């Protein structure tokens, strides 16, 4: 399958070539023709599957050739009303989607912009007033602009809800419902979500018309090329273990998840004190600080980015070799979202989870959802892997013994290459279950 088999026209094919893509990803191969045929689509796909291009390319083509449903063949629009709206849960994701529209639309004359909260509204207002064809927005800030009268959706032809499950998790459903009352009934709607919990299915029933369902991976199954390893560790030993893991693992970029903002800052302090370049992104950081942290991580200046789940939504950074669940999540879907940051575009990735006594139920839920047991990670200097990772909380926690004292006392050079090569040869779907039930 080639991009040219998907009925994309020259400006889009040229942009795809400029982006360096050779073949469409599975979701692109399935979704692009559907959108060009003006179908509503319910897409179950996680980040890293190429879903942004899957909707951005055909939307650009529909708008550029003036063949969208509300145009009725009237040809290219000369006014600049908002014709396509993409709603996304976070500013980072919104910005990345908007950047994708710029890249894929570089050989068209379509104008796009992005609006999100946490930054001054005036520059956004000015751009909206000048007229855009495509608007990417987070729901709250879009509602602000709508009530100011700077964003009107009367001429909307295509509506996209991206990462709908995250928007649900983040409490955006009422905002989305309000926005939906202001868009034309006759429109094309695309709803994308990594998981399909019942409220998303209900929303899909309400807003999609005869949708075609597309699922790239099995619902909630993470990419196949990701190894899932778990370390058994008590809470207070996590900082030392993190350093040991990083010191003994060759990695390109590591993304570390903590449960709280405060926890993220603590991890960064601990790593920095140990000579590891690390930065944090979370909701207490200013937009500038987040942008700086992301830029440092992208450029490779910062080796480790520590994030909370909300701040990390939609991070579009390739070449993250390791996702580390410093704090395991209690929501199994979040595990899938987290590890969706590694193993992208066919690369292999590793997900490492720190599991303490209280995580028993969470670990079970994750293993049930991904239908793969997390494997006990191999020994490290100062860490001896137990045979089972999680034991019932009623029993005494099964702590790993520490051969050589505390991991923090070990002298390792950051990024030395040894254990992970051995690790990959153990295979990712071993026979031992990490859960003792």
- Contact residues for ligand AMP (CB under 6 A)? 21, 24-25, 28, 47-53, 316, 318, 344-345
Please, which residue, 21 or 107, has the CB nearer to ligand AMP?
Answer: 21
* Torsion of the alpha carbons at 272, 278, 283 and 285, rounded to the nearest 10: 70
CB of 125 to ligand AMP, least distance (A): 28
Q: What's the gap between Cα 261 and its chain centre?
A: 18
Strands, E assignment, 93-210: 112-115, 134-137, 158-161, 188-193
- Taking the least distance from each CB to ligand AMP, the nearer of 11 and 24 is 24
Minimum distance, C-beta of residue 48 to ligand AMP, in the bound complex (Å): 5
By beta-carbon proximity to ligand AMP, the closer residue of 92 and 316 is: 316
Q: CB-wise, 57 or 128, nearer to ligand AMP?
A: 57
Residues 6+ apart with CB under 8 A from 276: 243, 246, 303, 304, 414
Among residues 21 and 414, whose Cβ is nearest to ligand AMP?
21
Min dist CB 15 to ligand AMP, Å, is: 12
CA distance 100 to 65: 19
CB of 329 to ligand AMP, least distance (A): 20
Q: Which is nearer to ligand AMP, 73 or 346 (CB)?
A: 346
State in angstroms the smallest separation of the CB of 161 from ligand AMP: 15
Taking the complex as a whole, the smallest distance from the CB of residue 206 to ligand AMP amounts, in Å, to 25
Q: Quick check: helix, strand or coil at residue 112?
A: strand
| CB-based contact 338:395 (threshold 8 Å) | no
| 361-368, long-range: CB < 8 A, 24+ apart | 361/330, 362/328, 362/329, 362/330, 362/332, 363/230, 363/328, 363/389, 363/390, 363/434, 363/435, 364/390, 364/435, 364/437, 365/330, 365/332, 366/328, 366/329, 366/332, 366/335, 367/433, 367/434, 367/435, 368/332
CB closer to ligand AMP out of 24 and 343: 24
Q: Name the token pair of 331.
A: 């929501």
Instruction: State the sign of the Cα–Cα–Cα–Cα dihedral 263, 267, 272, 277.
Output: negative
Closest separation in Å from C-beta 37 to ligand AMP: 20
């Amino acid at each position: 399958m080639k991009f040219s088999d998907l009925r994309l026209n020259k400006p889009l094919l040229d942009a795809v070539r400029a982006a360096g893509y050779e073949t469409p990803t599975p979701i692109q191969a399935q979704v692009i023709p559907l959108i060009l045929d003006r179908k509503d689509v319910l897409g179950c796909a996680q980040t890293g599957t190429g879903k942004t291009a899957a909707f951005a390319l055909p939307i650009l083509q529909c708008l550029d050739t003036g063949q969208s449903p509300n145009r009725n063949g009237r040809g290219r629009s000369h006014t600049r009303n908002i014709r396509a709206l993409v709603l996304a849960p976070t500013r980072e994701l919104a910005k990345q989607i908007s950047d994708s529209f710029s890249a894929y639309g570089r050989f068209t004359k379509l104008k796009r912009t992005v609006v999100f909260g946490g930054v001054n509204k005036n520059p956004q207002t000015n751009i909206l007033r000048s007229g855009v064809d495509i608007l990417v927005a987070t729901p709250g800030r879009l509602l602000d602009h709508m009530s100011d009268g700077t964003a009107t959706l009367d001429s909307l032809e295509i509506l996209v809800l991206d990462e709908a499950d995250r928007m649900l998790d983040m409490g955006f459903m009422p905002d989305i419902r309000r926005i939906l009352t202001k868009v034309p009934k006759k429109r094309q709607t695309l709803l994308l979500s990594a998981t399909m919990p019942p409220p998303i299915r209900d929303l899909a029933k309400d807003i999609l018309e005869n949708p075609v369902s597309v699922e790239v991976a099995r619902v909630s199954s993470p990419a196949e090329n990701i190894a899932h390893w778990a370390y058994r560790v008590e809470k207070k030993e996590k900082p030392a273990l993190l350093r040991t893991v990083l010191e003994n693992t060759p990695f390109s970029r590591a993304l570390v998840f903590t449960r709280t903002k405060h926890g993220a800052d603590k991890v960064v302090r601990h790593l920095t004190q140990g000579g590891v370049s690390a930065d944090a992104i979370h909701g207490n950081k200013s937009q500038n600080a987040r942008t700086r942290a992301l830029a440092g991580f992208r450029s490779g200046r910062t080796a480790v980015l520590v994030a909370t789940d909300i701040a990390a939504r939609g991070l579009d950074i390739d070449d993250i070799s390791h996702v580390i669940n410093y704090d395991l999540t209690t929501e199994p879907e979040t595990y899938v979202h987290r590890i969706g940051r590694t193993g992208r575009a066919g690369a292999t990735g590793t997900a490492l989870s720190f599991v303490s006594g209280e995580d028993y139920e969470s670990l079970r839920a994750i293993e049930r959802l991904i239908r793969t047991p997390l494997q006990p990670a191999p020994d490290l200097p100062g860490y001896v892997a137990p045979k089972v990772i999680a034991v019932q909380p009623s029993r005494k926690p099964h702590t790993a013994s520490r051969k050589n004292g505390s991991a923090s006392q070990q002298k390792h050079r950051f990024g030395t290459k040894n254990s992970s090569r051995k690790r990959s040869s153990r295979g990712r779907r071993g026979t031992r279950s990490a859960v003792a039930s």
